[in-house]
Chain A
Amino acid sequence: MRSRNIRHATIAAMAATGLVLAGCASDTSTSETNTAEGTSPGEGVEGCEDLTQFGDLSGTEVNVYTSIIEPESDAHKASYEKFTECTGAEVAYEGSNQFETQLIVRVRGGNAPDIAYVPQPGLLGTLVDTGSVVPAPEPTAENVDEFWGEDWKNYGSVDDTFYAAPLGANVKSFVWYSPKMFEKEGYEVPETWDEMLELSDEIAQKGDMKPWCAGIESGEGTGWVLTDWLEDALLRDVGPETYDQWVNHEIPFDDPQVVESLDRVGGILKNSDYVNGGHGDVNSIATTTFQDGGLPIIDGNCALHRQASFYAAQWPEGTDVSENGDVFAFYLPVTNEDNGRPVLGGGEFTVAFDDRPEVQAFQTYLSSDVWANEKAEATPGGGWVSANTGLDIELLGSPIDRLSAETFQDPEAVFRFDGSDLMPSAVGAGSFWKEMTSWITGDDSEDALQNIEESWPN
């Protein structure tokens, strides 16, 4: 019989080609701006200033294809109302958790959406190679220059052409903890990595709980949690420039500096005095799901859990996630003061496959501060943040989102994208995950990194 069941095709980056960061942001080329005739319905309406130049777009429709599904998609749809009010164009939204594979199929089959929210810059490179992506229009580029740092614009550019404006973002450099427990025990939020280790020792000696808990099981993506750990540690140890070289494979994957950073991570995660609070011993890290990884914090069996801002969704209903509540997060401390405050994170980018006026108008709208604030207001429960500096932090729905936005808007912050999303998929969604899983279950750092180095496609 024919097999009709979908092969769980590699969900993560199908990016075969590594993205080469574009050099200088200001020279990047863009698309010509197309406009429709007539007077825009948004003429004179507050917040529509960016969009009136596109003319009257009534009766047109923009279709958007994303990986954001319910319940998070509801707030997205609500945030497009302002666009319809300003231009008259409607937005048809489609979200799928098979997005990464289906987008490639649709684009290659000639059935591309108007706009896709691409969560990996590596995938952007693959899409640009198909020749279907159109560069962003000038008004979008202007918005990005105004509201985002150059690092973000570079991630949306391929070979000096600016294609994709950043949209949402998440911070990965967070350590979750319980402010209530910290207050009760008199612990202080650590400012440096060494302070964090001292705190860990103190908690371990006390013996009530293990200081750290972690879980890396995530189906076929098992291991990605550890890639984030290593990237965060490396970014702090060697600084953003060397980190970029490592991501682009300009230095070997198993460079001695990387081994050192991995050992730094091992100092926490492979230390049986430190882990695995509420779950078991070191080996339980590999078998605990990432969703469950930090939950022992609520039960008082674990003190610290390094995980991205989106972990906020995993706390059971009724948990007070705030500065003085049951759980909250602090910025993962730096190891080397010379490297500023590096922020590891992820985010989506809006990629356009058509240059009709309504598509360009929508891409421009999404890159504006108006949209960022509309989106923040449409998400009162929290769970969304953008690195858009025009975003009014006060509008964000939850304390953790406000912390994320503050982290992004910190002038000292240096943003770097999650490296495994930028690497070729054989590594970033393959050997890197697998070897990190072997590493936590016993392999030593040199061997694991060397194996990844050998798997790097030529």
Chain B
Amino acid sequence: MTTTPTPEPAMVKETPGPTTGKKSASRAAREGLTSKTASGVSLVIALLWTLPTFGLLVSSFRPEREAKGNGWWNAFTDPNFTLDNYREVLGGEGDASLVTFLVNSIVITIPGVLIPITLATLAAYAFAWMKFKGRDVLFVAMFALQIVPIQVTLIPLLSLYTSPPFNLRPLAGRDAPAGGLYELWLSHAIFAMPLAIFLLHNFMREIPGELIESARVDGAGHVEIFTKIMLPLMAPAIAAFGIFQFLWVWNDLLVALVFSGPDVAPLTVKLVNLVGQRGEDWHLLSAGAFVSLVIPLAVFLGLQRYFVRGLLAGSVKG
């Protein structure tokens, strides 16, 4: 049942050879889709787009005085590089080092991605393939929740965490369990759910009904259909949304500022404070930024093939 659709570029090569006088299909496609100007323009855009990041990278290796004194491009005419900035942000113990916060970020991000994806996949299946009363109304209501800006929800949510109804245990405040990690995970899950359900529902809906029908004829129940048909087919879509959610949670500052206690503050909170009381330490930011960039970059590079596939996940052949 692993009919994961993969485009097969090798297939097109079987078209008739050049002797026919007609252009081969692959050449036609190539010519139709590419042009020198377009390639040139996209190259320029890509260069311009990468330039600031490159400048940041160069700056992160420059000594404080030079980084503050002149632009990063001067590093080429007057090369003077140092690892001091990295040493300063990574060195030290406990609160002083970015490493502590890097660990916090990982601890926050992994459940912050897994929880909403698990729940959203289940919910999306129910919305897509189970018939129950009020399904459409519920789905529209769910979808409409995307419009609510998260800034509006911060204070009400926080007061819900600090003084929950029905004598539930408070998740925030002085005696927050796990230093406030639960409220962070929960908040990230809450904020991610509407979009996650909506996207995964749309992907799931694209899977041909015949597949489900035939599985049902073979005697499969919802659980079996979900685990044996949906999950393998949805893997690329789930991975694609996983990347999105990972980047959101990893780069999130607002939720972390509002809900995290000092013990579980993620990297972003530390990065903001890295500039120093009056902005005097901003040269450290470039090094800090690169430390925080490494993990999302690795995740993205590792999963990017799913990313493209996930966007095409609906197009099942046959």
**Which A residue sits closest to B272, measured CB to CB?**
A97
Contact A2 B191 (CB under 8 A): yes
Interface pick from A64-72, A189-197, A419-427, A435-443: A64-72
A-facing residues in B273-287 (Cβ within 8 Å) = 273-281
Interface core residue of A3, A4, A5, A316 (most chain B CB under 10 Å):
A4
Contact B275 A97 (CB under 8 A): yes
Task: From the candidates B151, B172, B251, B262, name the one contacting A94 in the complex (CB within 8 A).
Answer: B262
| Chain B contacts for A105, CB-based, 8 A | 154-155, 158, 258
**Which B residue sits closest to A69, measured CB to CB?**
B273
Contact B162 A109 (CB under 8 A): yes
Q: With A109-B154, A314-B280, A317-B65 given, can you name 4 additional A-B contacts, CB distance below 8 Å? A: A70-B273, A94-B261, A98-B272, A105-B154
Contact A6 B254 (CB under 8 A): yes
**A to B CB contacts below 8 Å, 16 in the list:** A1-B195, A4-B248, A4-B252, A4-B254, A5-B254, A68-B277, A69-B277, A94-B262, A96-B272, A105-B155, A106-B258, A109-B162, A110-B159, A291-B278, A316-B65, A317-B64
Chain B 155-174 interface 0/1 with A at a Cβ cutoff of 8 Å (1 = within): 11111011100000000111
**Which B residue sits closest to A64, measured CB to CB?**
B262
Contact A111 B173 (CB under 8 A): yes
What is the interface size of chain B, counting residues whose CB is below 8 A from a CB of the partner? Answer: 42
Task: From the candidates B248, B252, B258, B275, name the one contacting A102 in the complex (CB within 8 A).
Answer: B258
**Which A residue sits closest to B195, measured CB to CB?**
A2
Alpha-carbon separation in the docked complex, A111 to B158 (Å): 7
The size class of the interface chain A forms with chain B is: 20 to 34
**Which B residue sits closest to A65, measured CB to CB?**
B262
Contact A110 B163 (CB under 8 A): yes
| Chain B contacts for A98, CB-based, 8 A | 257, 272
Task: State whether the Cβ of A63 lies closer than 8 Å to any Cβ in chain B.
Answer: yes
**Contact A95 to B254, CB < 8 A, known contacts A105-B155, A109-B154, A110-B163:** no
| Chain B contacts for A310, CB-based, 8 A | 278
A-facing residues in B205-238 (Cβ within 8 Å) = none
Could you tell me the distance in whole angstroms from the C-beta of B124 to the nearest C-beta in chain A?
Answer: 18
Task: State whether the Cβ of B200 lies closer than 8 Å to any Cβ in chain A.
Answer: no
Contact A2 B159 (CB under 8 A): no
Interface core residue of B150, B157, B163, B262 (most chain A CB under 10 Å):
B262
Task: State whether the Cβ of A24 lies closer than 8 Å to any Cβ in chain B.
Answer: no
Task: State whether the Cβ of B141 lies closer than 8 Å to any Cβ in chain A.
Answer: no
Alpha-carbon separation in the docked complex, A105 to B156 (Å): 10
- Interface of chain B: mostly helix, strand, loop or mixed: helix
Task: State whether the Cβ of B146 lies closer than 8 Å to any Cβ in chain A.
Answer: yes
A-facing residues in B243-291 (Cβ within 8 Å) = 248, 251-255, 257-258, 261-262, 269, 272-281
- Interface of chain A: mostly helix, strand, loop or mixed: loop
Could you tell me the distance in whole angstroms from the C-beta of A98 to the nearest C-beta in chain B?
Answer: 6
Could you tell me the distance in whole angstroms from the C-beta of B170 to the nearest C-beta in chain A?
Answer: 9
Alpha-carbon separation in the docked complex, A110 to B162 (Å): 6
Task: State whether the Cβ of B96 lies closer than 8 Å to any Cβ in chain A.
Answer: yes
| Chain A contacts for B280, CB-based, 8 A | 291, 313-314
Alpha-carbon separation in the docked complex, A454 to B141 (Å): 45
Contact B276 A69 (CB under 8 A): yes
Contact A70 B276 (CB under 8 A): yes
Task: State whether the Cβ of A249 lies closer than 8 Å to any Cβ in chain B.
Answer: no
Could you tell me the distance in whole angstroms from the C-beta of A417 to the nearest C-beta in chain B?
Answer: 19
**Which A residue sits closest to B278, measured CB to CB?**
A313
| Chain A contacts for B257, CB-based, 8 A | 6, 96, 98, 102
Contact B151 A7 (CB under 8 A): yes
| Chain A contacts for B156, CB-based, 8 A | 109
A-facing residues in B183-208 (Cβ within 8 Å) = 191, 195
B-facing residues in A1-44 (Cβ within 8 Å) = 1-7
Could you tell me the distance in whole angstroms from the C-beta of A222 to the nearest C-beta in chain B?
Answer: 14
**Which A residue sits closest to B154, measured CB to CB?**
A105
Alpha-carbon separation in the docked complex, A159 to B54 (Å): 55
Contact A92 B162 (CB under 8 A): no
Task: State whether the Cβ of B149 lies closer than 8 Å to any Cβ in chain A.
Answer: yes
Alpha-carbon separation in the docked complex, A429 to B159 (Å): 28
Contact A109 B273 (CB under 8 A): no
Could you tell me the distance in whole angstroms from the C-beta of B116 to the nearest C-beta in chain A?
Answer: 13
**Contact A4 to B279, CB < 8 A, known contacts A69-B273, A92-B262, A110-B162:** no
Alpha-carbon separation in the docked complex, A176 to B255 (Å): 42
B-facing residues in A44-100 (Cβ within 8 Å) = 63, 68-72, 92-98
B-facing residues in A86-134 (Cβ within 8 Å) = 92-98, 102, 105-106, 108-111
| Chain A contacts for B151, CB-based, 8 A | 7
| Chain B contacts for A109, CB-based, 8 A | 154-159, 161-162, 172, 258
| Chain A contacts for B146, CB-based, 8 A | 2
Alpha-carbon separation in the docked complex, A150 to B96 (Å): 39
Chain A 204-242 interface 0/1 with B at a Cβ cutoff of 8 Å (1 = within): 000000000000000000000000000000000000000
Contact A2 B150 (CB under 8 A): yes
**Which A residue sits closest to B92, measured CB to CB?**
A70
Could you tell me the distance in whole angstroms from the C-beta of B91 to the nearest C-beta in chain A?
Answer: 13
Contact B155 A4 (CB under 8 A): no
Contact A93 B262 (CB under 8 A): yes
| Chain A contacts for B253, CB-based, 8 A | 5-6
| Chain B contacts for A63, CB-based, 8 A | 174, 262
| Chain A contacts for B279, CB-based, 8 A | 291
| Chain B contacts for A110, CB-based, 8 A | 158-159, 162-163, 173
| Chain B contacts for A71, CB-based, 8 A | 276-277, 281
**Contact A314 to B278, CB < 8 A, known contacts A97-B272, A109-B154, A109-B162:** yes
Alpha-carbon separation in the docked complex, A71 to B281 (Å): 9
| Chain B contacts for A70, CB-based, 8 A | 96, 273-274, 276-277
A-facing residues in B120-174 (Cβ within 8 Å) = 146, 149-151, 154-159, 161-163, 172-174
B-facing residues in A286-328 (Cβ within 8 Å) = 291, 310, 313-314, 316-317
Interface core residue of A1, A2, A102 (most chain B CB under 10 Å):
A2
| Chain A contacts for B275, CB-based, 8 A | 97
Alpha-carbon separation in the docked complex, A95 to B257 (Å): 11
